[in-house]
């Protein structure tokens, strides 16, 4: 992906996030055979997608069945379920 995809023009526009190695390895397995060139590229895509969904509802609201199924799917893809 080009630098514009990440909304940064230089390496100084980036920061390092630390995740558990086990999670990294699971994410690596998830993207194996996909078009993602790295775990970092995949994580940036997922986070951008998550942020693009906009503000979340108040925690007192109930999730719809579709939202629950989407959450389960994402957790399975990440190896948590």
User: pLDDT tens across 30-63, in order?
Assistant: 999 999 999 999 999 999 988 887 776 555 567 7
Candidates 6, 73, 66; CA nearest to 37 is 6
Q: Which structure tokens are listed for 2?
A: 């080009």
Diameter over CA atoms, the chain: 42
Percent of the chain with pLDDT over 70: 79
More confident position, 36 or 4: 36
Q: How far apart are CA 1 and CA 41, in angstroms?
A: 8
Residue 60 confidence (pLDDT): 57
Query: From residue 12, how far is each of 42, 48, 76 by CA, in Å?
Result: 20, 19, 34
Report pTM.
0.54
Residue 71 confidence (pLDDT): 87
């Amino acid at each position: 992906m080009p630098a514009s995809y990440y909304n940064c023009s230089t390496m100084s526009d980036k920061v390092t996030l630390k995740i558990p190695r086990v999670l990294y390895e699971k994410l690596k397995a998830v993207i194996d055979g996909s078009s993602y060139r790295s775990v970092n590229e995949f994580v940036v895509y997922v986070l951008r997608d998550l942020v693009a969904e906009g503000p979340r509802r108040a925690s007192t609201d109930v999730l719809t069945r579709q939202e629950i199924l989407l959450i389960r799917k994402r957790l399975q893809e990440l190896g948590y379920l």
